[in-house]
Structure 1
Amino acid sequence: MKVKKTIAIVDDHILIAQAIKGIIANFENFDTICECENGQVLIDKINAHNDVPDIVLLDISMPVMDGFETANWLQKNHPEVLIMVLSMQNDEQSVIKMVKNGAKSYLLKNSHPRELESALNKLVENGFYYPEWASKIIFSSINKNTNSALSKLTEREKEFLKYTITEKSYKEIAELMFCSPRTVESYRDNLFEKLNLKSRVGLAVYAIKNGYDQ
């Protein structure tokens, strides 16, 4: 017999939580193990019984502990839990903040039950699932952040960024750029700060993603 994935529903609207539970009861691969009216109730249940669900269906606006705080706690304490946001909030700020806090999927409450089941299956299979509207918001945010970061780089920093893809040492890069090794180190440190990276590997990956290997 196939083991079903366990789900915790976190929503302060009891009728909605009960309705979602009833819908999930018809899904072949999933089973609801608890409904919680806010994130704190979920945390208390997990800590008391050590019964961690495979998936958390998480609303955003809730009293005591909202979806943002709950997702952040889950990400830090139980990163293996797959978080699916189930909310009526579809604004860019909410979507991006939930994704940053660990949400791996984002659905609206007016989604069809078939979409919910399909999304849950894809979430389990791939580790994430975002419908087209949410994907557009996420990719738009990534592009904005990338363009913003690139606009802050000097021409010399961009030149140094190209060399991070090569196997040349920092000393060799300094010779190619006709500057001192200490200057090259300052370019590196500036890029670490501006791009929020911590290693040459990170710089190289960033350079490749943004076409500096052409």
Structure 2
Amino acid sequence: MKKTIVVVDDHLLIANALSSIISNFEAFEVLYVCENGLELQNKINQHPIPDIVLLDISMPIMDGFETANWLKKDYPNTLIMALSMQDDEQSLIKMIKNGAKGYMLKNAHPKELEEALQKILKNGQYFQEWATSKVLSTLHYNHNNSNEIKISDREKEFLKYTVTEMTYKEISEKMFCSPRTVENYRDSLFEKLELKTRVGLAVYAIKNGYEE
């Protein structure tokens, strides 16, 4: 039986092109396409629940962030694959926080899309190479090891803010300390958690319940 997909993208030419491409994949079929999250909300109970939602980020009415968060709460067994032109860290962090298990750029080759769909079903996640070093090591982080790491209350507070869009300077103001102190928290956590980027810290915060 083929795995089912719904495409959500406000550019109908792109959505229909994706649908046409996926129709040539042996293991997948597209149930329908939607222009935004609100349309998905209205349609999803009228059809079989999809295995995967291919979700654009920048959409009117109800964007990808809000849609992903709704899917995570109401349809937790449906895998969310973000499909976007945005390759910035904040969009990546926010989509992971809101439940996305994969993230692809729209310039991907159709063959990579097919492989990505296969891998997200098999492994529960898929991230392109540009995001892999920022994300996967944190997603695979051993919870038993993390329980043994001593993280101070102030470091936990800092971790909470890494998930937001605030700059380090804005975080320092929120924490009533100097930017240098915030940098010390960051560097200390980099060393303790064996991470190198803010994305890694943010994903760790999400996984371990330190987010706001």
TM-score normalised per structure 1: 0.65
Partner of 1:8: 6
1:89 aligns with 2:86: yes
Structure 2: tracts of 5 or more residues without a match: 142-148, 161-191, 195-212
How many residues align? The count is 155
Structure 1: tracts of 5 or more residues without a match: 144-149, 154-189, 197-208
**Residue 109 of structure 1 aligns to which amino acid in structure 2?**
K
Q: CA deviation at 1:152?
A: 7.1
Could you report, residue by residue, the CA deviation over 1:117-154 in whole angstroms, capped at 9, with x for unpaired residues? 000000111111111211223369889xxxxxx8973x
Partner of 2:71: 74
Partner of 1:175: none
Cα gap change, 1:97/1:140 in structure 2, threshold over 3 Å: closer, same or farther? farther
Could you report, residue by residue, the CA deviation over 1:52-108 in whole angstroms, capped at 9, with x for unpaired residues? 111000000000000000000000011100000111001000001001111011110
Cα RMSD for the two superposed structures: 2.9
Partner of 1:41: 39
Larger radius of gyration: 1
Runs of 4+ displaced beyond 6 Å: 140-143
What is the identity percentage for the equivalent residue pairs of Structure 1 and Structure 2?
58
> Larger deviation: 129-138 or 77-86?
129-138
Question: Quick one: distance in 1 between partners of 2:83 and 2:5?
Answer: 13
Question: Quick one: distance in 2 between partners of 1:121 and 1:141?
Answer: 22
Bigger relative contact order, structure 1 or 2 (CA pairs below 8 A, ≥6 apart): 2
TM-score normalised per structure 2: 0.66
